[in-house]
Amino acid sequence: MKNLEKLEQLYEGKAKKVYSTNVEGVVIVDYKDDATAFNGEKKGTILGKGVINNKMSNYIMKQLEETGVPTHLVEELSDRETAVKKVSIVPLEVIVRNVAAGSFSKRMGVEEGKELLRPIIEFSYKCDELNDPFINDDYALALGLATEEEIETIKSYTRKVNETLKAFFLNIGIKLIDFKIEFGRLADGTIILADEISPDTCRLWDVNTNEKLDKDRFRRDLGGTEEAYQEVMRRIFGK
């Protein structure tokens, strides 16, 4: 984007900073190497993560655009910075599960790695103070977190994202176990995909060995976190 200027910091999240710009409706996200887990209780650094998540997320969002899922992506500006459309985030963490793992396995007493008969879409209320509680559509509607129409749109985009991502990862020898995405509203109310898609927000297992290639290595102190992120990057970009 010609003449785009980074102005002041609007927000600092756990993994990214957001800056205003001189262009109406456009902000800049700046990806950090900071990693947290368990709602910020565990803190650390994953060296090089910001660069990997920035590039990978942008690459994936471009592919999703081609399948008809609108995204916030405007333009990658540098290794860690991307210009994106300014949205107000719908306060729902939209989680898709193809294979049992994580909080689903715990809650349901189902062994990690068990294939689900069909994909699950679930919602959490995006609220750190409450620890992002699990909710259903009725909670979201009754609390006015989203309208019925928005929820339908979100679910329909989410199904498409899952199909595209599953094929994308399989093609590079990775099983997409589950992932979390977030949507935002443009000024006119249009729903678009926002936030990021990266090893921070997906569970990615090697298709042959089931080796974890995602943030669970950090969450669970498995070691080799940086190497796992680099491996995903290498499989996508060949370097």
C-alpha 175/C-alpha 24 separation (Å) is 39
Residue numbers at the binding site for ligand TMP (CB under 6 A): 95, 101-104, 178-180, 201-203
> Phi first, then psi: what are they for 114, rounded to 5°?
-75, 125
Which partner in ligand ASP, ligand TMP, none is near 202 (CB below 5 to 8 A by kind)? ligand TMP
Which partner in ligand ASP, ligand TMP, none is near 40 (CB below 5 to 8 A by kind)? ligand ASP
**What do you get for the CA distance between the two ends of the chain, in Å?**
27
Q: Residue 15: how many CB atoms within 10 A of its CB?
A: 22
Q: For the chain, what is the total number of helices (H) and then of strands (E)?
A: 6, 14
Stretch that binds ligand ASP, among 33-41, 114-122, 150-158, 222-230 (CB under 6 A): 33-41
Q: Which is nearer to ligand ASP, 150 or 195 (CB)?
A: 195
C-alpha 97/C-alpha 119 separation (Å) is 6
Which partner in ligand TMP, ligand ASP, none is near 63 (CB below 5 to 8 A by kind)? none
Considering only 2, 8, 24, 38, the residue that binds ligand ASP (CB under 6 A) is 38
Whether the Cβ atoms of residue 230 and residue 238 lie closer than 8 Å to each other: no
C-alpha 155/C-alpha 137 separation (Å) is 11
Q: Which is nearer to ligand ASP, 76 or 195 (CB)?
A: 195
Least distance from ligand ASP to the Cβ atom of residue 39, Å: 5
Q: Is residue 39 involved in binding ligand ASP (CB under 6 A)?
A: yes
Interacting residues with ligand ASP between 194 and 223 (CB under 6 A): 215, 219
Provide the β-strand partners of residue 12: 17
Q: What is the largest distance, in Å, between two alpha-carbon atoms of the chain?
A: 54
Tell whether the torsion through CA atoms of 73, 90, 219 and 129 is positive or negative. positive
Which partner in ligand ASP, ligand TMP, none is near 92 (CB below 5 to 8 A by kind)? none
What are the residues whose beta carbons fall under 8 Å from the beta carbon of 99, sequence distance 6 or more?
113, 114, 115, 116, 175, 177, 178, 203, 205
Q: Is residue 45 involved in binding ligand ASP (CB under 6 A)?
A: no
Q: Which residue is nearest to ligand ASP (CB)?
A: 36
Least distance from ligand TMP to the Cβ atom of residue 7, Å: 28
Binding site for ligand ASP (CB under 6 A): 14, 36-40, 215, 219
